[in-house]
Chains A and B, each alone.
Chain A
Amino acid sequence: MKSTNLGEFEELVLLTIVALFDEAYGVAVKEDLEKRTQREVSVGAMYSALNRLEKKNFISSKWGESTRARGGKRKRLFNITNSGKRALIQSRSVREELWDLSKGLILDLK
């Protein structure tokens, strides 16, 4: 059976895809991620994450339109699947549980 674990970077990518909705293709995802996380994301790292997500069936993809900036190459548009959504919800609930348990301590430190 394939692993259905959601890694940290994968989760970010997946969330970005959801946030971008119809416009989730390589460059857009990369830029969005870079803007939000303030770290550089290489095309290789991103596509390897996208590949993993697709293999785990969390996202689906289809061909998009081509633009002149792309030298006439078509975009690949990514979309979240239902199992992707489930994985996000599950990951979030785990976090919330943990937050509930540790909230006092973390805020105390401040």
Chain B
Amino acid sequence: MEDFRPPKWAYRFFKWFCNPEYFEFIHGDLEEIFLQKLHESNPKSARRFYLKQVIKLFRPSIFMRKSTKESTSVLGLTGHYFKVAGRNLIKHKALSMLNVLGLALSMAVGMLAITLIEEQYSYDDFHVNKEKVYRLLSARKSGSHFASSPAALGRKMQEGLPDVEAVATFSAAGGKLKVKNESFETLGMVTSSDFLKVFTFPVLQGDPLLLDDPSSIFMTQNLAEKLFGSNDPLGQLVQIQDSVQLVVKGILYDVPRNSHLQFEFLISSNNQDFKTPFERSPDNWKNIYTQYNYVLFNEDHDLDRAQVFMNQASEEHYEVEDRNFFSFQPLSGIYPGPGYTNSPSQGSLDPILFKVIGGVALLLIVFSTFNYASLTTARSFTRAKEIGVRKTFGAHNKQISRQVLVESILISIVAGILAFPILKLIIPAILGLNPEIGNFFLLKPEMSTYLYFLLFAIFVGLLASIIPAFYFSRFQPVQALRDFYSVRVFSKAGLRKSLIVFQLVLGLICVSTALLTQKQFKYELEFDRGFDDDHLVNIDIGPIGLNVFRNEVEKSANIIGTTLSTNVPSSSSSANLAIKLTSGENASVNFFRADEFFFDIYALSIIGETLPASQEFDAPQITINESAVETLELGSPEEALGQSILVFGKSRRIVRVIRDFYFQGINSTQRPLIILPLFSAKSPGILSVKVADNKLRESLDLIDRAWLKSGIKTELNYSVFKEKLRQSSQHLIMTKVVGFFGVQLLLVALIGLSGICKWMAEVRAREMGIRKILGAETSQLMVSLSKGFIILTLLAVLIALPLSYMANTEIWLNSLANHVSFDWKIILASTLILGIPASLLMLFPTLAVLRRKPIHYIKEE
């Protein structure tokens, strides 16, 4: 069908760009010309002609809006904005301070989130082929996922799939490198030269292909320097695993910190000495646990085809009931990404934590910008005059908005600068939460991060200015000038108040949760575990030098005694063991091994024992706890003594029955336990050293010296029991993190609250003045001024604490076997934490208004 109208979209485009002043008559002209063309030729060419005209109209002289009066001196006006902005900030010092502080606090958290997220996303960014590299994942039929996959799969893909350019297959090679009898603990990988093709780990010296030479080792600059100092590392000999001789054939750049793969040396997979027996057979599909495959595809690869290929391989090589499934994971998805068992990297940070930190940061920013907007518009009654005058002199709405904009951006940049020192304070606090956190992040802002910070500050400024700009520019000048007291600014008070309450509630929930977790932490630390956990130092130790060390330590008067065991109560979980009951059923029992002194050192309470017990290794005798007596159906503890049960295929006599103690964490239930004698003098274990009261420092020195003296090669690794308990407590970390966010939220909320209090006091100053003149008492006026806010605060408490109680007990408290309760102390403490600063913040502006002479407020009439 022929269309006798001009093309619609051309018309719309024209309407969009055309200066509205010209629109009507040019549009008329176009219509007229179109009609003419329609008469002269066919609609199609008329339409084409119309379009051509529209396109030719798209020129500055048509679409540029005629600049209005403000064009006279844009630069001068911008300067003026800054001048007025500066004056306003200085004039209202207290309010500006509050604004800056509130913004700075939340921006610091925002910056923390930016640093964290940028750092996490920078992982593996340096690989040239990062878009084309995928990791192969395996999944058991049971649903457990592994980051590893059989080497055979990698080989098969390389041979059978044209899309594959190279496959890097590797396994970890932990170990001691030895150079001239000096040994170094480090970490390496067993792989082929394809590893260097797939990943961008540049080779500094040597030919990458030499990595396939069975006797070669490649190492990073850093390691080479550690091993050989300033000597040329190429061609040097290195011994690994005490027996295998390797030659340094290549030097690599140090592996960047933001690489999910960390290693210091590479050795060839052609060297058979590093492989476990099942890695040695080239076609082993069973081993999905120790080897990793990373595939480099070519430009136009088809992932679906590759997936089909892998599915076929899986079908081909596994029985139905024992099938493993394979899938891809892009390199960029590894870090940050989901954690898999067997990941060659330290586990990536849980993406959920990201969202939590990002979410809290966002929440804080929204709150503080809202507070800013609230404080700024609340101040408007003092600025109504200024804006009225501006408007009367012909200021545009846009110019008023711009003034507000400049002010908020100025404030947020000042806040951004102030946020730096706050950030600097936060970062070490976060890194100090747990020694392991340092593995996850460096939290060192990069240059680019600072750029993001600046953009972020400006963004926050813009965000903060939206409401005030809109609000101020809509002022009616006449009304603003005539009686600016009547300007309604609190008309949306409901929204304001509910947002303040919301902030207070969130803050209170966090603070009360932190108090609760702290209480739980203390409770667990003091908890009676059924053994004496004070003054204990635990040392990981192997058989070599053990006796020398032990004798050395025991000689000291500061040391009460030592005991060697394979497990330490409460800090490591012990293995399980099945024991056949007389009824024929199997009972599951925990067990570990310990020497004779164990019961003394740990002061376990003994119900009964038959003495003398043998001191020999692996003697056929055991100690069991009360729960075991019951589980193994041995009657009463007394009856159990002397009976024999079959453990590890050997009949063993029960020589001791002890009371239950918490040998696992205090929140697991009491389980049956068997303590066997040590297996042999060679079994590695943990030496627990009992130290005399108040002699911990001296004893640690002594242990250090004894370690050196006994000539043990490995590094001394000890932990003070209570200290470790304290450090490894999740509740302590939770206390700190939740408490930190809670305090931040409360601070931001209080800043908002105090701003509104201050403003309310000023708005009602005249009313207060008159009431004072009429004879009202100061106390009455105070009540009337602060009543509203006290109600707000109380409301927040009433909402937050029951919510917090329910959430905490439901989510975690009830799942613990031994836990504290959310009691009145926590309720009181949270209320005070909010109440005291809140009432002070309300008191000061109120008093300031009430103390001034009423005449000051009245005289302006």
> Which A residues form the contact surface with B (CB < 8 A)?
25-27, 30, 42-45, 47-48, 51-52, 63, 66-67, 69-71, 73-76
Minimum C-beta distance from B840 to chain A (A):
64
Q: How far is the CA of A27 from the CA of B34 in the complex (A)?
A: 11
Q: How far is the CA of A76 from the CA of B750 in the complex (A)?
A: 62
Across the interface, which residues of B come within 8 angstroms of A73, CB to CB?
A: 24-25, 27-28, 31
B residues 52-81 touching A (CB-CB < 8 Å): 52-53, 55-59, 61-62
CB of B446 within 8 Å of the partner chain: no
Contact, CB under 8 Å: B28 / A66: yes
CB of B139 within 8 Å of the partner chain: no
B residues 1-36 touching A (CB-CB < 8 Å): 22, 24-33, 35-36
Across the interface, which residues of B come within 8 angstroms of A43, CB to CB?
A: 26, 29-30, 33, 53, 56-57
Residue of B nearest to A70 (CB): B28
Across the interface, which residues of A come within 8 angstroms of B62, CB to CB?
A: 44, 47-48, 51
Q: How far is the CA of A76 from the CA of B25 in the complex (A)?
A: 6
Contact, CB under 8 Å: A70 / B31: yes
Across the interface, which residues of B come within 8 angstroms of A66, CB to CB?
A: 28
Q: How far is the CA of A75 from the CA of B59 in the complex (A)?
A: 21
Q: How far is the CA of A45 from the CA of B58 in the complex (A)?
A: 10
Q: Name B57's contact: one of A27, A44, A67 (CB within 8 Å).
A: A44
Residue of B nearest to A77 (CB): B25
Q: Name B56's contact: one of A25, A42, A71 (CB within 8 Å).
A: A42
Q: How far is the CA of A63 from the CA of B26 in the complex (A)?
A: 12
Minimum C-beta distance from A67 to chain B (A):
8
Contact, CB under 8 Å: A26 / B56: no
Across the interface, which residues of B come within 8 angstroms of A27, CB to CB?
A: 29, 32-33, 36
Minimum C-beta distance from B686 to chain A (A):
88
Contact, CB under 8 Å: B61 / A51: yes
Across the interface, which residues of B come within 8 angstroms of A69, CB to CB?
A: 31-32, 35
Across the interface, which residues of B come within 8 angstroms of A71, CB to CB?
A: 27-28, 31
Across the interface, which residues of A come within 8 angstroms of B25, CB to CB?
A: 25-26, 63, 73-76
Contact indicator per residue, chain B 32-43, by CB within 8 Å of chain A (1) or not (0): 110110000000
Minimum C-beta distance from B555 to chain A (A):
103
Contact, CB under 8 Å: B59 / A48: yes
Across the interface, which residues of A come within 8 angstroms of B28, CB to CB?
A: 26, 66, 70-71, 73-75
Instruction: Please list the 3 inter-chain residue pairs (A to B) with the smallest Cβ-Cβ separation, ordered nearest first.
Output: A73-B28, A44-B56, A76-B25
Which one of B22, B24, B35, B55 has the highest number of Cβ atoms from chain A below 10 Å of its Cβ?
B24
Contact, CB under 8 Å: A47 / B61: yes
Across the interface, which residues of A come within 8 angstroms of B27, CB to CB?
A: 71, 73
Contact, CB under 8 Å: B26 / A52: no
Q: Give 28 CB contacts A-B under 8 Å.
A: A25-B29, A27-B32, A43-B26, A43-B29, A43-B57, A44-B56, A44-B57, A44-B58, A45-B56, A47-B26, A47-B61, A48-B61, A51-B61, A52-B61, A66-B28, A67-B32, A69-B35, A70-B28, A71-B28, A73-B24, A73-B25, A73-B31, A74-B25, A75-B25, A75-B28, A75-B29, A76-B24, A76-B25
Residue of A nearest to B55 (CB): A44
Minimum C-beta distance from A55 to chain B (A):
9
Contact, CB under 8 Å: B56 / A70: no
Minimum C-beta distance from B24 to chain A (A):
5
Minimum C-beta distance from B11 to chain A (A):
11
B residues 372-419 touching A (CB-CB < 8 Å): none
Contact indicator per residue, chain B 81-121, by CB within 8 Å of chain A (1) or not (0): 00000000000000000000000000000000000000000
Say what secondary structure dominates the interface of chain B.
Answer: helix
Across the interface, which residues of A come within 8 angstroms of B26, CB to CB?
A: 26, 43, 47
Q: How far is the CA of A27 from the CA of B32 in the complex (A)?
A: 7
Across the interface, which residues of B come within 8 angstroms of A75, CB to CB?
A: 25, 28-29
Contact, CB under 8 Å: A26 / B61: no
Given A73-B24, A73-B25, A74-B25, also A47-B57 (CB < 8 A): yes
Q: How far is the CA of A75 from the CA of B56 in the complex (A)?
A: 20
Q: How far is the CA of A43 from the CA of B57 in the complex (A)?
A: 7
Residue of B nearest to A52 (CB): B61
Q: How far is the CA of A82 from the CA of B111 in the complex (A)?
A: 65
Residue of A nearest to B29 (CB): A26
Extra contacts besides A47-B26, A75-B29 (15): CB < 8 Å: A25-B25, A26-B29, A30-B29, A30-B33, A42-B57, A43-B26, A43-B33, A43-B53, A43-B57, A44-B59, A47-B62, A51-B62, A70-B31, A71-B31, A76-B25
Q: How far is the CA of A45 from the CA of B55 in the complex (A)?
A: 11
Residue of A nearest to B19 (CB): A51
Across the interface, which residues of B come within 8 angstroms of A76, CB to CB?
A: 24-25
Contact, CB under 8 Å: B31 / A42: no
Minimum C-beta distance from B13 to chain A (A):
13
Across the interface, which residues of A come within 8 angstroms of B33, CB to CB?
A: 27, 30, 43
Contact, CB under 8 Å: A70 / B32: yes
Which one of A26, A69, A73, A76 has the highest number of Cβ atoms from chain B below 10 Å of its Cβ?
A73
Q: How far is the CA of A99 from the CA of B322 in the complex (A)?
A: 104
Residue of B nearest to A49 (CB): B61
Q: How far is the CA of A25 from the CA of B24 in the complex (A)?
A: 13
Q: How far is the CA of A26 from the CA of B35 in the complex (A)?
A: 15
Q: How far is the CA of A47 from the CA of B28 in the complex (A)?
A: 13
Across the interface, which residues of B come within 8 angstroms of A51, CB to CB?
A: 61-62
Residue of A nearest to B53 (CB): A43
Across the interface, which residues of A come within 8 angstroms of B36, CB to CB?
A: 27
Minimum C-beta distance from B62 to chain A (A):
6
Q: How far is the CA of A73 from the CA of B56 in the complex (A)?
A: 21
Across the interface, which residues of B come within 8 angstroms of A42, CB to CB?
A: 52-53, 56-57
Q: How far is the CA of A37 from the CA of B27 in the complex (A)?
A: 24
Residue of A nearest to B50 (CB): A43
Minimum C-beta distance from A65 to chain B (A):
11
Residue of A nearest to B6 (CB): A71
Across the interface, which residues of B come within 8 angstroms of A45, CB to CB?
A: 56
Q: How far is the CA of A67 from the CA of B55 in the complex (A)?
A: 25
Minimum C-beta distance from A42 to chain B (A):
4
Across the interface, which residues of A come within 8 angstroms of B35, CB to CB?
A: 69
Q: Name A44's contact: one of B24, B31, B32, B53 (CB within 8 Å).
A: B53
Residue of B nearest to A45 (CB): B56
Across the interface, which residues of B come within 8 angstroms of A70, CB to CB?
A: 28-29, 31-32
Across the interface, which residues of B come within 8 angstroms of A26, CB to CB?
A: 25-26, 28-29
Residue of B nearest to A51 (CB): B61
Across the interface, which residues of B come within 8 angstroms of A25, CB to CB?
A: 25, 29
Across the interface, which residues of B come within 8 angstroms of A67, CB to CB?
A: 32
Across the interface, which residues of A come within 8 angstroms of B22, CB to CB?
A: 47
Q: How far is the CA of A73 from the CA of B53 in the complex (A)?
A: 18
Across the interface, which residues of B come within 8 angstroms of A52, CB to CB?
A: 61
Minimum C-beta distance from B20 to chain A (A):
13
Minimum C-beta distance from A80 to chain B (A):
18
B residues 581-613 touching A (CB-CB < 8 Å): none
Which one of B28, B57, B62 has the highest number of Cβ atoms from chain A below 10 Å of its Cβ?
B28
Q: How far is the CA of A24 from the CA of B25 in the complex (A)?
A: 13
Q: How far is the CA of A27 from the CA of B33 in the complex (A)?
A: 7
Minimum C-beta distance from B8 to chain A (A):
14
Q: How far is the CA of A45 from the CA of B54 in the complex (A)?
A: 11
Minimum C-beta distance from B36 to chain A (A):
8
Minimum C-beta distance from B525 to chain A (A):
82
Q: How far is the CA of A17 from the CA of B370 in the complex (A)?
A: 59
Minimum C-beta distance from B600 to chain A (A):
102
Minimum C-beta distance from B250 to chain A (A):
67
Across the interface, which residues of B come within 8 angstroms of A47, CB to CB?
A: 22, 26, 57, 61-62
Q: How far is the CA of A73 from the CA of B540 in the complex (A)?
A: 94
Residue of B nearest to A71 (CB): B31
Across the interface, which residues of A come within 8 angstroms of B55, CB to CB?
A: 44
Which one of B25, B31, B52, B55 has the highest number of Cβ atoms from chain A below 10 Å of its Cβ?
B25
Minimum C-beta distance from A23 to chain B (A):
13
B residues 155-199 touching A (CB-CB < 8 Å): none
Minimum C-beta distance from A44 to chain B (A):
4
Q: How far is the CA of A48 from the CA of B59 in the complex (A)?
A: 8
Which one of B26, B27, B52 has the highest number of Cβ atoms from chain A below 10 Å of its Cβ?
B26
Q: How far is the CA of A21 from the CA of B62 in the complex (A)?
A: 25
Q: How far is the CA of A67 from the CA of B32 in the complex (A)?
A: 9
